[in-house]
């Protein structure tokens, strides 16, 4: 797909911000080949001509996939999308764990959470990794299953 189609009027992009790190803006005039400025409207209504140099700003993911429990589900997987998804999961769902494929991303909540209790261990027992919310217990169970099925010298865990 051509850049002009992706960055048409109404498209949402991420731009760097000194306070928030990344900020959402809406394209108010579609990008055309050769442009070096993108016309944007910030969420607070401020309009600006954003000079982007040689690289257009990253596109926003649709709102319907914001806060996914697996970052692989994101349409666009880049720094602002990852940070936004982690922020949404942590602040809105109090979820400190997020998958990125087979990798478990963890955010330190700097407080005690009741997520390592015995009932949580039992809830994850015998489940597949994708059956429950991301958690270290799910990965430990997967490692245990792989180790039990693999020859001793070949298991990754």
The string of pLDDT tens digits covering residues 3-40 is 778 999 999 999 999 999 999 999 999 999 889 999 99
| DSSP β-bridge partners for residue 70 | 99
Q: Tell me, what's the pLDDT at 111?
A: 93
Nearest in space to 35 (alpha carbons), one of 61, 16, 8 = 8
Q: Return the SS3 of 16.
A: strand
Query: Would the pLDDT of 143 be above 90?
Result: no
Annotated domain spans of the chain: 3-51, 63-149
Cα gap 12→130, rounded to integer Å: 30
Q: How confident is the model at residue 42 (pLDDT cuts 50, 70, 90)?
A: very high
The string of pLDDT tens digits covering residues 97-133 is 999 998 999 999 999 989 999 999 899 888 887 888 9
C-alpha 33, offset from chain centre: 29
pTM of the model: 0.83
The string of pLDDT tens digits covering residues 50-91 is 999 889 999 999 987 778 999 999 999 999 999 999 999 999
């Amino acid at each position: 797909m051509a850049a002009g189609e992706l960055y048409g009027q109404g498209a949402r992009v991420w731009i760097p911000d000194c306070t928030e790190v990344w900020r959402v803006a809406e394209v108010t005039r579609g990008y055309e080949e050769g442009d070096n400025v993108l016309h944007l409207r910030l969420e607070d209504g401020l309009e600006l001509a954003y000079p982007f140099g040689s690289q257009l700003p990253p596109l926003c993911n649709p709102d319907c996939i914001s806060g996914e429990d697996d970052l692989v589900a994101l349409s666009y997987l880049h720094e602002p999308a990852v940070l936004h998804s982690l922020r949404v999961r942590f602040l809105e769902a109090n979820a400190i764990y997020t998958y990125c494929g087979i990798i478990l991303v963890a955010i330190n909540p700097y407080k005690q959470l009741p997520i390592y209790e015995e009932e949580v261990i039992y809830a994850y027992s015998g489940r597949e990794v994708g059956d429950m919310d991301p958690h270290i217990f799910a990965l430990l169970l997967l490692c245990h299953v792989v180790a039990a099925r693999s020859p001793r010298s070949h298991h990754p865990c």
